[in-house]
Each structure stands twice: as structure tokens, then as C-alpha cells.
Structure 1
């Protein structure tokens, strides 16, 4: 017997259908290819150099010798294959596209909203555009990257995505937040 499986986003049916985007907006990405790169012992500098040198994808620091690599252009399989070829023996690559969810919080109050649940200084001088780190948002581990002065990307484990969206809605109660799937 053959089964026909449909790809369903973990947040389908729980968000969306808000007419219009407000000044502060949480966009949930449907098709982001995500891979974890772990440097081989003693090869962290080489792996970092290769990841930073290429603009075809976005590498985000997670910890010593560990990065999340995101791409809106590549399919998960092609991202992993391309990274494996470029990094060779310097690092190990694992596809996490179906195990993680990418979200973007943008708007004039984005840093204030996040400050309600993150114990990190989000002032642009302390957490500049292009900086990323793995941290707790309330009780959930997220990788947070500042991608613009008023724009932050969050990557969370798939099983915690619904809880993170609920937490962000509570954190933004006084900031008029809209939530929907990203159009890009």
C-alpha cells in the first residue's frame, strides 16, 4: 500500500489570517533550509573562514566550532551537499531543516519585545547587526541573530515553535504585534 504524505508546517492552523501587517511583525518562514555545521577537532578556524567567505548562505554562530547555516535559496539537500563539498574534512554537516523553525521579528519595538524574555543586552552597540548567539528566550533555547537595526531572526527547535510564538505574543502584549507566515 502506498501512502501520500503532505508536508505540513508545525504552525499551520495556529497562526495567520491577521488582516494587514502591523508595525511590529513576527514572520514565520515556511521553507528555510537549515544545517548545523560542527568543526572537526582542531579545524574551527578553517571551517569559520570557509563559512564567512561565501555569501550564498548565512552562517550564524552557535558556539565554539558550531554554526547554523540558513538559506532561503537552497533546498535542504543541496545546502547540505554544497556545505559538505566546501568544508570537506574541516567540518561535519547535518540537515536540520525539518527539525527547526525560522522566525523574523521586525519593527520599531522588536528589541523591547525581546527584552521581556531575553537576558542579553540588545542595544545595537552590544548586539550589533550581523551578530548571533544561542540563548534562552524565557525557557526556550533559541539562536538569535540581529539582521537589521529593528530586525531579529530566531531559530528554534520544531517541537518548541508553538511555545515560542505564544511566548512572543505575551512578551509583545503592549506593542501591537501581528503574526503570520512570511511571504518570501
Structure 2
């Protein structure tokens, strides 16, 4: 018997179309390709050199010799293969596209919203644009990256995406926040 499986986003049914985007906005990305890269023993510098941003993907620190790589250019099916070709024996690559969800929180109050649940100094001097770290957002482990002066990306395990969105809504209850799927 053949089964016809359809890809369903972890947040389908939880968030939907909004009438207007507010000053602070949380966007869930539908098609971001995500891979985990782990440097081979003694090969961290070589792997890091290959992962320098080139416009096709963005590598974010996830731990010593470990990066989360996101791409809006590659399809989830091809990102891991492309990274495997580029990195060769310098690193190991695992596709995470269907196991993680990428969100973007943007707006003038983004830092203040995140401060309600993240115990990391988010001042631009301590956490500048381009910096990424694994943090706890309330009780959930997320990879947080500052992507702009007032913009942050959060990558969370798929099974915790709805809890994270719920937590962010609560953290933003004193602010004007809209939530929707990203259009990029």
C-alpha cells in the first residue's frame, strides 16, 4: 500500500494570515534549509574557513567546532549535499531542515521582548550583529542570532516550535507584536 505524505509546517494551524503587520513582528520561515556541521577532529579551522558566508548560506556558531547552517537559496534536500561536497573530510554534515524551525523576531522592542525570557546580555556591544549562541528561552533551547540592529533569528527543534511561539507571545504581551509566516 502506498502512502502520500505531505510536508506540513510545525506551526500550520497555530498561526495564520494577519490583517496588518505591527511594529514588532515574529515571522516563521517555511522554506529555510538547515544543516548541522560538526568539524572533524583537528579540522575546526579548515571547516570554519570553508563556511565563511558566500551569499548561498549563513553559518552560525552552535558550539566549539559546530555550526548551524541556514540557507534561503538551497532547497532542504540539497543544502546538506552541497555542504558535504565543500567540506569533504573536514566536517560531518547532517540535514536538519525538517527537524528545526527558523523564526525571525524584528522591531524596535525585539531586544526588550527577548530580555523577558533570555538570560543573555543582548546589548549591541555584547551581542553584535552576526553573533549567535545557544541559549535558553524560558525552558526551551534555541539558537539565537542577531541579524540586524533590531532583528533576531531563533532556531528551535520542530517539536518545540509551538511552545516557543507561545512563550514569545507571552513575553511580548506589553508590546505590539504580530505573528505570521514569513514572505521572503
Q: TM-score, normalised by structure 1?
A: 0.98
The equivalences for 1:62-77 within 5 A come to 62-77=62-77
Q: Which runs of 5+ in 1 are unaligned?
A: none
2:26 and 2:179 in contact (8 A); partners too: yes
The CA distance in 1 between the partners of 2:165 and 2:54, in whole Å, is 31
Quote the residue 1:156 is aligned against. Answer: 156
Quote the residue 2:80 is aligned against. Answer: 80
Quote the residue 2:2 is aligned against. Answer: 2
The CA distance in 2 between the partners of 1:34 and 1:94, in whole Å, is 9
The CA distance in 2 between the partners of 1:15 and 1:55, in whole Å, is 30
**Paired residue secondary structure (2:52):** helix
Deviates more, 1:72-81 or 1:140-149: 72-81
The CA distance in 1 between the partners of 2:148 and 2:58, in whole Å, is 14
How big is the alpha-carbon RMSD for the aligned residues of Structure 1 and Structure 2? 0.8
Shift of 1:17: 2.7
The CA distance in 2 between the partners of 1:65 and 1:55, in whole Å, is 21
2:56 and 2:72 in contact (8 A); partners too: no
The CA distance in 2 between the partners of 1:140 and 1:183, in whole Å, is 26
Deviates more, 1:2-11 or 1:118-127: 2-11
Q: Which runs of 5+ in 2 are unaligned?
A: none
Alignment size in residue pairs = 184
Quote the residue 1:38 is aligned against. Answer: 38
Which runs of structure 1 show a deviation greater than 4 angstroms over 4 or more consecutive aligned residues?
A: none
Shift of 1:3: 1.6
